[in-house]
Every structure is written in C-alpha cells, then in structure tokens.
Amino acid sequence: MGPPGVGKGTQCSRLANHLALPHLSTGEMLRAAKANAGQNGCSMSRALADHIDAGQLAPDELVMTMLVQRMAQPDCERGCLFDGFPRTLSQGQLLDEHLVANGHRVSDVVNLKAPRDVLIQRLLRRGETENRADDTLETIEARLLVFMRETAPLLDHYDHQGVVRTVDGTGTPDEVCRRVIAKVSRSPA
C-alpha cells in the first residue's frame, strides 16, 4: 500500500519472487481491460477507461470480481501478494469478507512511504519512459488526492488488525526491497 509512484509494483514483484507467490496487480488487470475497451466495445470496459483516464478509482465491484477470479486460480493456493489493492475501505472490507469466508486473512500490509515531490518526479519519469497516458502532472495530482482521501484511511483499518508494516520507500529499489523483506512476517517457501 502507498501513494502512486512509491514503488508498489516494483517491490511487490521483488517480494513475490522472494516468497515464491503470485504478484496480483489490479492496476495491470485494469489497464489490460482498458486496452480491450476499444476492441470489444463493452460498456463496462469503456466506463473503466473513463475512470482511469480521469485518475479515478475503478468501481469496487468490478475490481473485486476480477480479483476473486484471479485468486481462484491454482497458483494462488498458497497465497498471493496484492499490488496496490485494496484502495478503498470498501474494497478492504470486501477483501476481508472474502478471505474470512475462505479461511484466510491478510497477513501483512506493507505501507510504503515517500515524500510528495519524489512521487511526482518518479511518476513523470515513468510516464515518459513507459509512455503511460495516466502519468501526466494533472492526473498525478488527481491520483495523489484520491489516495489521501480514499486509500489512506485503510491504514487505520489494517492497523487495528496489527498487520501494517511501514517502510521507507526512498532509495534504490534494492535498498527498499531489503527493508520490505525485513518487515514481513512470512519467510520464503
């Protein structure tokens, strides 16, 4: 968990490799659905594309449906790592309900933190190098506001469960990865 540009995808991928667990990126799933919006013309994909282009969060029901389908695949049997999910208190509650109903729970929430100016520079650089249409200054500002308003309250939700592990997200990816691995409670398989 953390604001846009803090390195959630990078660190989730590295931790997934370390723990030999699948890395579930809802952002990648949603961008793939957006890319398909023009091809299949479904109204849900078009609505999703509009949300992403405006820097808004996708509807909880859609995200949860995609995630539940993905978690049902055999490679998630031992667990998985969520990249940037949940993003709202509602999503967190939906996830908790789904997990509890299936005899599971969230074991760790890695809360990556970095200064706002660092986040903006990282996202602008990523927008240029990866040609990401959702990494413009206007959209970045909107996404940071959405994070503070809608995602940050999840920290209290998971802090009450005793699973939040706050990690400094500045420095090289290797430095941050070492900090993340030191904070999670699960050891590699």
We report the CATH number of the domain holding residue 100 as 3.40.50.300
Residue 94, in any domain of the structure? yes
Q: At what angle do helices 137-146 and 116-130 cross, to 10 degrees?
A: 130
Strands 164-168 and 109-113: parallel
Give every CB contact of residue 154 below 8 A, 6+ residues apart in sequence: 1, 86, 87, 88, 89, 92, 109
Range of the domain at 28: 8-183
- pLDDT computed for residue 101 by the predictor: 96
Query: Which residues contact residue 28 at a Cβ distance below 8 angstroms, ignoring those fewer than 6 apart?
Result: 9, 83
Q: What is the pLDDT of residue 187?
A: 43
Instruction: Report the alpha-carbon distance of residue 69 to residue 97 in Å, rounded.
Output: 15
Query: Does residue 109 lie within any of the structural domains?
Result: yes
- Residue 2 maps to a domain: no
Query: Is the residue at 188 inside a domain?
Result: no
Please check whether residue 146 lies inside any domain of the structure: yes
Supply the pTM of this predicted model: 0.81
Asked if residue 91 is part of any domain, the answer here is yes
Question: pLDDT 10s digit of each residue in the chain, 189 long?
Answer: 999 999 999 999 999 999 999 999 987 888 777 777 766 556 666 777 777 777 776 788 888 888 998 999 999 999 999 997 898 899 999 999 999 999 999 999 999 999 999 999 999 999 899 988 778 999 999 999 989 999 999 999 999 999 999 999 999 999 999 999 999 965 443
Is 20 inside any structural domain? yes
CA angle, 144 then 128 then 40, to 5°: 80
Residue 35 lies in a domain: yes
- In this prediction, residue 58 carries a pLDDT of 76
**Total structural domains within the chain:** 1
What pLDDT, on a 0 to 100 scale, did the predictor assign at position 189? Answer: 39
